[in-house]
Amino acid sequence: LAKTTQPISMDSYEGQEVNITCSHNNIATNDYITWYQQFPSQGPRFIIQGYKTKVTNEVASLFIPADRKSSTLSLPRVSLSDTAVYYCPLGAGNTGKLIFGQGTTLQVKP
């Protein structure tokens, strides 16, 4: 499993759509892509997972191009409560291992 690379920080305003990109050039065939949200003094919380193409759930969308070397988390209409650190660790399905990178600190302003 390889570490992923993300922008260190991003700013947005309430009501905007936010797209956070993640680079994983060395992703292996068996790796899957996950995104987690972490608030201060809490453990990370799962947001979404995907292997290829697009995945959507009730809180976010995940876009993965055909080469799988990057992924984009899309948060529609963010609010102040979305201010957090977002991680995109790669995971190995047969072990449950996750390898985290630095994460992106998203600051949502009123």
Partner 1 sequence: NAGVTQTPKFQVLKTGQSMTLQCAQDMNHEYMSWYRQDPGMGLRLIHYSVGAGITDQGEVPNGYNVSRSTTEDFPLRLLSAAPSQTSVYFCASSYGGTGGRYEQYFGPGTRLTVT
β-bridge mates for residue 64, sequence order: 53
Tokens of 47: 């947001």
| 91 near partner 1 (CB under 8 A) | yes
Q: Are 87 and 5 in contact (CB under 8 A)?
A: no
CB neighbours of residue 40 within 10 Å: 7
How many residues of this chain bind partner 1 (CB under 8 A)?
23
Closest alpha carbon to 36 in 110, 92, 107, 91: 91
| 102 near partner 1 (CB under 8 A) | yes
Among 45, 54, 69, 77, binds partner 1 (CB under 8 A): 45
| 29 near partner 1 (CB under 8 A) | no
Among 43, 58, 66, 81, binds partner 1 (CB under 8 A): 43
| 83 near partner 1 (CB under 8 A) | no
Nearest distance in Å: CB 78, partner 1: 22
Closest alpha carbon to 92 in 51, 64, 43: 51
The footprint of partner 1 (CB under 8 A) covers: 32, 34, 41-46, 49, 87, 89, 91, 93-103
